A and B are shown apart, each in its own frame.
Chain A
């Protein structure tokens, strides 16, 4: 069974970097696409980006140059780094698997809530 699990700090200070790990079991991240999605307080959802089976990436332009998604295939993990965070980055962050067409997201992690506050 495909399972995804996010991990990382629940509290980040403004201007610092947010770093999250998604650990995948039951499926290799060298297949399919793997994404990060966040849900803000108030329920708005935002696609942040993905990393492909080959390691190529695509990001939401709204995040400009602040975002980076990388991976460690030996550990079957992929990572999110979001730089220069503000309080507006407070959200629940989900990692998810997508099909070979990059969508839809068919398996999701349980989510990790990240608060940006001093």
Chain B
């Protein structure tokens, strides 16, 4: 199975800061990575698909980049509603796997 390693596990920031969340795959997966946001007591929400493709309705401050084994989710100027957990998921090969998540918290 492909292992996805997300870092950091927790990121403490103040609103207005810009941040980058990392997801590293145990083998090359082209751009078959997707990013989700999950707020407490809510279901996950798709933010970015195929590494960098935007999703309708998602604020433009969210962007994704990377290919191969290293991927980044960037949030430009974090807003209070962004404090939640972020997961990456790979679809390069079955079984689809998720990273352990990065918790974005208020400093």
| Interface residues in chain A, defined as those with a beta carbon under 8 Å from any beta carbon in chain B | 43-47, 58, 60-62, 94, 101-106, 108-111
Within the complex, the shortest CB–CB distance from A64 to chain B, in Å, comes to 12
Q: Which A residue's beta carbon lies closest to that of B33? A: A104
Q: Contact at B49–A104, with CB atoms within 8 Å?
A: yes
* Complex Cα spacing A104 to B101, Å: 17
Which residue among B34, B36, B43 has the maximum number of chain A CB atoms within 10 Å of its CB? Answer: B43
CA distance A58 to B45 in the complex (A): 23
**Is B85 among interface residues, defined by CB-CB distance under 8 A?**
yes
Q: Which single member of B42, B85, B96 contacts A103 (CB below 8 Å)? A: B96
**Contact status of A111 and B43, CB under 8 A, knowing A43-B100, A43-B101, A103-B34:** yes
Report chain A residues within 8 Å CB of B49.
103-104
Which residues of B lie under 8 Å from residue A104 when comparing CB positions?
34, 36, 46, 49, 89, 91
For A60, the chain B residues whose CB sits under 8 A away are 94-95
B34 to chain A, nearest CB (A): 4
Is B97 at the interface (CB under 8 A from chain A)? yes
Q: Given known contacts A104-B34, A104-B89, is B95 in contact with A61 (CB within 8 Å)?
A: yes
Bound complex: CA A42 to CA B5 (Å): 16
Binding site for A on B (CB under 8 A): 32, 34, 36, 42-46, 49, 55, 85, 87, 89, 91, 94-98, 100-101
- Taking CB atoms, residues of chain B closer than 8 Å to A103 are 32, 34, 49, 89, 91, 96
Q: Which residues of B contact A101 (CB under 8 A)?
A: 91
Q: A43-B85, A45-B98 are in contact. Are A102 and B91 (CB under 8 A)?
A: yes
Taken together as a complex, chains A and B put the C-alpha atoms of A115 and B13 apart, in Å, by 34
Chain A residues, CB < 8 A from B89 = 45, 47, 103-105
The closest CB in chain B to the CB of A43 belongs to B101
When distances are taken between beta carbons in the complex, the residues of chain B under 8 Å from A109 are: 43
Interface centre among A102, A105, A111 (most CB of B within 10 A): A105
